[in-house]
Amino acid sequence: MKLAILDDWFDTLRGLPCFSKLDGLDVTVFADHLPEASALVERLRDFDAVVLFRERTAVTAELLDQLPNLKLISQRSVYPHVDVHPCTRNGVLLCSNMHSGTPSFAAAEHTWALILATMRQIPQQMASLQAGNWQMGVGKTLNGRTIGIYGYGRIGTAVETYAKAFGMNVVWWASEQGRARLAVAESRAAFFAQSDVVTVHVRLTPETWGMITAEDLAAVHADALLVNTSRAGLIEAGALFEALNAGTPGMAAIDVFDVEPITSANDPLANHPNVVVTPHIGFVTEDEFELQFTDIFDQVVAYGKGAPIHMINPEAWT
Protein backbone atom coordinates (compact mmCIF):
# COMPACT_ATOMS: atom_id res chain seq x y z
CA MET A 1 0.00 0.00 0.00
CA LYS A 2 1.26 3.45 -0.93
CA LEU A 3 0.19 5.81 1.86
CA ALA A 4 0.29 9.62 2.08
CA ILE A 5 0.03 11.46 5.39
CA LEU A 6 -0.99 15.08 4.91
CA ASP A 7 -0.37 18.25 6.90
CA ASP A 8 2.01 16.97 9.58
CA TRP A 9 3.31 20.52 9.90
CA PHE A 10 6.05 19.81 12.44
CA ASP A 11 6.88 16.31 11.23
CA THR A 12 5.75 14.95 14.58
CA LEU A 13 4.19 11.63 13.68
CA ARG A 14 7.39 9.80 12.74
CA GLY A 15 8.58 10.26 16.32
CA LEU A 16 5.49 8.74 17.94
CA PRO A 17 5.36 5.10 19.10
CA CYS A 18 2.24 4.46 17.01
CA PHE A 19 4.10 5.20 13.76
CA SER A 20 5.64 1.72 13.96
CA LYS A 21 2.20 0.33 13.10
CA LEU A 22 2.95 1.40 9.51
CA ASP A 23 6.15 -0.65 9.24
CA GLY A 24 6.29 -2.37 5.88
CA LEU A 25 4.11 0.20 4.10
CA ASP A 26 5.33 2.75 1.57
CA VAL A 27 4.66 5.91 3.60
CA THR A 28 5.24 9.53 2.59
CA VAL A 29 4.72 12.28 5.16
CA PHE A 30 3.98 15.77 3.85
CA ALA A 31 4.77 18.59 6.29
CA ASP A 32 3.37 21.42 4.17
CA HIS A 33 -0.22 22.39 3.33
CA LEU A 34 -1.64 22.53 -0.19
CA PRO A 35 -5.06 24.18 -0.26
CA GLU A 36 -5.56 24.04 -4.05
CA ALA A 37 -7.24 20.93 -5.44
CA SER A 38 -5.07 20.95 -8.57
CA ALA A 39 -1.88 20.80 -6.52
CA LEU A 40 -3.31 18.03 -4.33
CA VAL A 41 -4.24 16.00 -7.40
CA GLU A 42 -0.65 16.11 -8.59
CA ARG A 43 0.63 15.19 -5.13
CA LEU A 44 -1.77 12.32 -4.46
CA ARG A 45 -2.20 10.85 -7.94
CA ASP A 46 -0.13 7.72 -7.24
CA PHE A 47 -1.30 6.97 -3.69
CA ASP A 48 -3.68 4.19 -2.67
CA ALA A 49 -4.48 5.65 0.76
CA VAL A 50 -4.43 9.01 2.53
CA VAL A 51 -4.27 9.84 6.22
CA LEU A 52 -5.88 13.15 7.12
CA PHE A 53 -4.69 15.38 9.93
CA ARG A 54 -8.02 16.50 11.34
CA GLU A 55 -9.72 19.07 9.07
CA ARG A 56 -6.55 20.61 7.71
CA THR A 57 -7.28 19.45 4.16
CA ALA A 58 -10.72 19.44 2.53
CA VAL A 59 -11.53 16.36 0.47
CA THR A 60 -13.91 17.54 -2.23
CA ALA A 61 -15.62 15.99 -5.22
CA GLU A 62 -13.26 17.94 -7.47
CA LEU A 63 -10.30 16.23 -5.80
CA LEU A 64 -11.79 12.74 -5.55
CA ASP A 65 -12.89 12.62 -9.17
CA GLN A 66 -9.26 13.01 -10.25
CA LEU A 67 -7.69 10.35 -8.01
CA PRO A 68 -8.54 6.98 -9.60
CA ASN A 69 -5.92 5.11 -7.53
CA LEU A 70 -7.24 6.29 -4.16
CA LYS A 71 -9.10 3.59 -2.21
CA LEU A 72 -8.89 4.60 1.47
CA ILE A 73 -9.09 7.76 3.57
CA SER A 74 -8.26 7.21 7.24
CA GLN A 75 -8.90 9.87 9.87
CA ARG A 76 -10.52 10.33 13.26
CA SER A 77 -13.65 12.02 14.57
CA VAL A 78 -16.17 14.12 12.63
CA TYR A 79 -15.71 14.68 8.92
CA PRO A 80 -17.39 17.89 7.70
CA HIS A 81 -14.30 18.44 5.51
CA VAL A 82 -14.83 15.18 3.60
CA ASP A 83 -17.43 14.93 0.84
CA VAL A 84 -18.68 11.42 1.56
CA HIS A 85 -20.97 10.90 -1.45
CA PRO A 86 -18.17 11.44 -4.01
CA CYS A 87 -15.99 9.13 -1.90
CA THR A 88 -18.56 6.38 -2.34
CA ARG A 89 -19.10 7.17 -6.02
CA ASN A 90 -15.36 6.83 -6.62
CA GLY A 91 -14.98 3.67 -4.55
CA VAL A 92 -13.04 5.43 -1.78
CA LEU A 93 -13.65 4.02 1.70
CA LEU A 94 -13.70 6.58 4.53
CA CYS A 95 -12.72 5.15 7.92
CA SER A 96 -13.09 7.38 10.96
CA ASN A 97 -13.20 6.28 14.58
CA MET A 98 -15.80 8.46 16.31
CA HIS A 99 -14.21 7.63 19.72
CA SER A 100 -17.40 8.19 21.70
CA GLY A 101 -15.95 6.71 24.88
CA THR A 102 -12.45 8.15 24.68
CA PRO A 103 -11.55 11.09 26.94
CA SER A 104 -10.23 14.24 25.31
CA PHE A 105 -8.10 15.96 27.89
CA ALA A 106 -5.98 18.07 25.53
CA ALA A 107 -8.90 20.23 24.39
CA ALA A 108 -10.29 20.54 27.92
CA GLU A 109 -6.88 21.56 29.29
CA HIS A 110 -6.42 24.12 26.53
CA THR A 111 -9.86 25.52 27.27
CA TRP A 112 -8.79 26.03 30.86
CA ALA A 113 -5.49 27.57 29.80
CA LEU A 114 -7.39 30.13 27.71
CA ILE A 115 -9.78 30.89 30.57
CA LEU A 116 -6.91 31.54 32.98
CA ALA A 117 -4.89 33.50 30.41
CA THR A 118 -7.80 35.79 29.61
CA MET A 119 -9.20 36.33 33.09
CA ARG A 120 -5.72 37.07 34.48
CA GLN A 121 -4.63 39.10 31.40
CA ILE A 122 -1.52 36.95 30.99
CA PRO A 123 -0.72 37.88 27.35
CA GLN A 124 -1.18 41.59 28.07
CA GLN A 125 0.78 41.48 31.33
CA MET A 126 3.61 39.63 29.61
CA ALA A 127 3.71 42.14 26.72
CA SER A 128 3.74 45.03 29.20
CA LEU A 129 6.63 43.52 31.16
CA GLN A 130 8.65 42.78 28.01
CA ALA A 131 8.10 46.34 26.84
CA GLY A 132 9.84 47.65 29.95
CA ASN A 133 6.70 48.38 31.91
CA TRP A 134 5.21 46.71 34.96
CA GLN A 135 1.59 45.82 35.66
CA MET A 136 -0.93 46.92 33.01
CA GLY A 137 -4.25 46.14 34.67
CA VAL A 138 -6.29 44.09 37.14
CA GLY A 139 -7.49 40.55 36.41
CA LYS A 140 -10.38 38.50 37.74
CA THR A 141 -10.46 35.56 40.19
CA LEU A 142 -12.34 32.45 39.07
CA ASN A 143 -13.33 31.24 42.53
CA GLY A 144 -16.99 32.01 43.21
CA ARG A 145 -17.79 33.00 39.64
CA THR A 146 -20.16 31.10 37.36
CA ILE A 147 -19.10 29.12 34.30
CA GLY A 148 -21.70 28.16 31.72
CA ILE A 149 -20.78 25.01 29.79
CA TYR A 150 -22.66 24.55 26.51
CA GLY A 151 -22.48 20.89 25.52
CA TYR A 152 -22.68 17.87 27.80
CA GLY A 153 -20.01 15.60 26.34
CA ARG A 154 -16.53 14.31 27.10
CA ILE A 155 -14.81 17.71 26.89
CA GLY A 156 -17.56 19.62 28.67
CA THR A 157 -17.56 17.22 31.60
CA ALA A 158 -13.75 17.44 31.87
CA VAL A 159 -14.01 21.24 31.95
CA GLU A 160 -16.62 20.92 34.71
CA THR A 161 -14.07 19.00 36.80
CA TYR A 162 -11.50 21.79 36.41
CA ALA A 163 -14.12 24.45 37.16
CA LYS A 164 -15.15 22.79 40.41
CA ALA A 165 -11.48 22.45 41.44
CA PHE A 166 -11.21 26.23 41.04
CA GLY A 167 -14.32 26.81 43.15
CA MET A 168 -16.58 27.93 40.31
CA ASN A 169 -20.32 27.48 40.10
CA VAL A 170 -21.32 25.43 37.04
CA VAL A 171 -24.44 25.89 34.92
CA TRP A 172 -25.25 23.86 31.81
CA TRP A 173 -26.98 24.17 28.50
CA ALA A 174 -27.16 21.56 25.76
CA SER A 175 -29.28 20.08 23.01
CA GLU A 176 -32.80 18.99 23.88
CA GLN A 177 -31.52 15.43 24.32
CA GLY A 178 -28.65 16.62 26.53
CA ARG A 179 -30.92 18.83 28.65
CA ALA A 180 -33.03 15.79 29.47
CA ARG A 181 -30.01 14.19 31.16
CA LEU A 182 -28.82 16.96 33.48
CA ALA A 183 -29.82 19.98 35.51
CA VAL A 184 -29.61 23.05 33.28
CA ALA A 185 -30.24 26.78 33.57
CA GLU A 186 -33.92 27.69 33.72
CA SER A 187 -33.75 28.98 30.14
CA ARG A 188 -31.33 29.51 27.28
CA ALA A 189 -31.38 33.26 27.89
CA ALA A 190 -30.70 32.74 31.61
CA PHE A 191 -27.75 30.47 30.78
CA PHE A 192 -26.00 33.21 28.80
CA ALA A 193 -27.03 36.03 31.15
CA GLN A 194 -25.87 34.45 34.42
CA SER A 195 -22.50 33.08 33.21
CA ASP A 196 -19.24 34.91 33.88
CA VAL A 197 -17.55 32.48 31.52
CA VAL A 198 -19.35 30.75 28.63
CA THR A 199 -17.47 27.85 27.02
CA VAL A 200 -18.72 25.90 24.02
CA HIS A 201 -18.14 22.16 23.56
CA VAL A 202 -20.36 20.89 20.75
CA ARG A 203 -19.58 18.96 17.58
CA LEU A 204 -20.07 20.89 14.36
CA THR A 205 -22.79 19.27 12.27
CA PRO A 206 -25.34 20.70 9.82
CA GLU A 207 -27.76 20.91 12.76
CA THR A 208 -25.37 22.82 15.06
CA TRP A 209 -23.99 25.23 12.45
CA GLY A 210 -24.57 28.80 13.69
CA MET A 211 -26.40 27.57 16.80
CA ILE A 212 -25.04 30.41 18.97
CA THR A 213 -26.67 33.53 17.62
CA ALA A 214 -26.19 37.28 17.90
CA GLU A 215 -29.18 37.26 20.27
CA ASP A 216 -27.41 34.77 22.55
CA LEU A 217 -24.27 36.90 22.64
CA ALA A 218 -26.27 40.04 23.37
CA ALA A 219 -27.56 38.34 26.53
CA VAL A 220 -24.03 37.89 27.90
CA HIS A 221 -22.98 40.58 30.35
CA ALA A 222 -20.19 43.04 29.61
CA ASP A 223 -17.68 41.52 32.07
CA ALA A 224 -18.12 37.99 30.75
CA LEU A 225 -15.75 35.82 28.72
CA LEU A 226 -16.77 33.60 25.80
CA VAL A 227 -14.47 30.66 25.00
CA ASN A 228 -14.56 28.61 21.80
CA THR A 229 -12.13 25.72 21.38
CA SER A 230 -14.64 23.63 19.41
CA ARG A 231 -15.42 25.01 15.94
CA ALA A 232 -15.91 28.54 14.67
CA GLY A 233 -18.98 27.52 12.69
CA LEU A 234 -20.94 26.93 15.90
CA ILE A 235 -21.28 30.71 16.22
CA GLU A 236 -23.38 32.64 13.72
CA ALA A 237 -21.12 34.08 11.03
CA GLY A 238 -19.78 37.50 12.00
CA ALA A 239 -21.76 37.57 15.24
CA LEU A 240 -18.83 37.27 17.66
CA PHE A 241 -16.85 40.10 16.09
CA GLU A 242 -19.90 42.38 16.15
CA ALA A 243 -20.72 41.36 19.73
CA LEU A 244 -17.20 42.16 20.91
CA ASN A 245 -17.43 45.54 19.28
CA ALA A 246 -20.73 46.08 21.10
CA GLY A 247 -19.16 45.01 24.40
CA THR A 248 -21.15 41.84 25.11
CA PRO A 249 -19.25 39.71 25.83
CA GLY A 250 -16.45 41.92 27.01
CA MET A 251 -13.80 39.26 26.26
CA ALA A 252 -13.32 36.21 24.09
CA ALA A 253 -10.75 33.42 23.98
CA ILE A 254 -10.65 31.70 20.59
CA ASP A 255 -8.76 28.68 19.26
CA VAL A 256 -10.83 28.15 16.09
CA PHE A 257 -11.58 30.34 13.09
CA ASP A 258 -13.91 30.41 10.09
CA VAL A 259 -10.97 30.02 7.70
CA GLU A 260 -7.89 28.08 8.80
CA PRO A 261 -5.00 28.51 8.73
CA ILE A 262 -5.02 32.30 9.10
CA THR A 263 -2.25 33.69 6.92
CA SER A 264 -2.88 37.41 7.32
CA ALA A 265 -1.28 39.42 10.11
CA ASN A 266 -4.33 41.70 10.03
CA ASP A 267 -7.15 39.25 10.67
CA PRO A 268 -9.85 41.36 12.40
CA LEU A 269 -10.94 38.80 15.00
CA ALA A 270 -7.44 37.55 15.82
CA ASN A 271 -6.31 41.13 16.38
CA HIS A 272 -9.32 42.36 18.32
CA PRO A 273 -8.11 44.08 21.52
CA ASN A 274 -10.50 42.09 23.71
CA VAL A 275 -9.52 38.66 22.40
CA VAL A 276 -6.92 36.08 23.40
CA VAL A 277 -6.25 33.75 20.48
CA THR A 278 -4.33 30.58 19.65
CA PRO A 279 -3.95 28.86 16.23
CA HIS A 280 -6.21 25.80 16.73
CA ILE A 281 -3.88 24.01 19.12
CA GLY A 282 -6.51 22.56 21.44
CA PHE A 283 -5.65 19.05 20.23
CA VAL A 284 -1.99 19.71 19.44
CA THR A 285 -0.09 17.73 22.05
CA GLU A 286 2.16 14.70 21.59
CA ASP A 287 -0.09 12.68 23.90
CA GLU A 288 -3.24 13.52 21.94
CA PHE A 289 -1.51 12.77 18.64
CA GLU A 290 -0.48 9.35 19.93
CA LEU A 291 -4.08 8.66 20.96
CA GLN A 292 -5.59 9.84 17.70
CA PHE A 293 -3.10 8.37 15.26
CA THR A 294 -3.10 5.01 16.99
CA ASP A 295 -6.73 4.79 15.88
CA ILE A 296 -6.00 6.19 12.43
CA PHE A 297 -3.10 3.83 11.75
CA ASP A 298 -5.08 0.86 13.09
CA GLN A 299 -7.67 1.66 10.41
CA VAL A 300 -4.97 1.62 7.73
CA VAL A 301 -3.62 -1.72 8.94
CA ALA A 302 -7.11 -3.25 9.14
CA TYR A 303 -7.86 -2.15 5.59
CA GLY A 304 -4.60 -3.69 4.40
CA LYS A 305 -5.65 -7.00 5.98
CA GLY A 306 -8.97 -6.93 4.15
CA ALA A 307 -11.03 -6.28 7.31
CA PRO A 308 -11.65 -2.52 7.48
CA ILE A 309 -12.96 -0.95 10.68
CA HIS A 310 -14.87 2.22 11.55
CA MET A 311 -16.32 2.50 8.04
CA ILE A 312 -18.38 5.62 7.39
CA ASN A 313 -19.47 4.55 3.88
CA PRO A 314 -19.29 0.73 3.92
CA GLU A 315 -21.01 0.60 0.53
CA ALA A 316 -17.67 1.77 -0.95
CA TRP A 317 -16.12 -1.45 0.40
CA THR A 318 -18.85 -3.89 -0.48
What is the number of H-type helices and E-type strands within the chain? Answer: 11, 11
Which residue in the list 145, 231, 236, 310 is annotated as catalytic?
A: 231
**Cβ 92 vs Cβ 50: under 8 Å:** no
For residues 96 and 101, what is the distance between their CA atoms, to the nearest angstrom?
14
Which residue in the list 62, 260, 288, 290 is annotated as catalytic?
A: 260
Which residue in the list 76, 154, 280, 310 is annotated as catalytic?
A: 280
Please state, as a whole number, how many other Cβ atoms lie within 10 Å of the Cβ of residue 80: 14
| Length of the chain in terms of residues written | 318
**Cβ 84 vs Cβ 94: under 8 Å:** yes
**Cβ 256 vs Cβ 280: under 8 Å:** yes
Q: Is 188 a catalytic residue?
A: no
For residues 40 and 224, what is the distance between their CA atoms, to the nearest angstrom?
43
**Cβ 296 vs Cβ 76: under 8 Å:** yes
DSSP 77-98: S--TTB-HHHHHHTTPEEEEE-
* Cross-strand bridge partners of residue 200: 150, 228
Q: Is 260 a catalytic residue?
A: yes
Q: Using the 8-state DSSP alphabet, how is residue 66 labeled? A: T
Three-state SS annotation for 7-59: CCCCCCHHHCHHHHHHCCCEEEECCCCCCCHHHHHHHHCCCCEEECCCCCCCE
Catalytic residues: 231, 260, 280
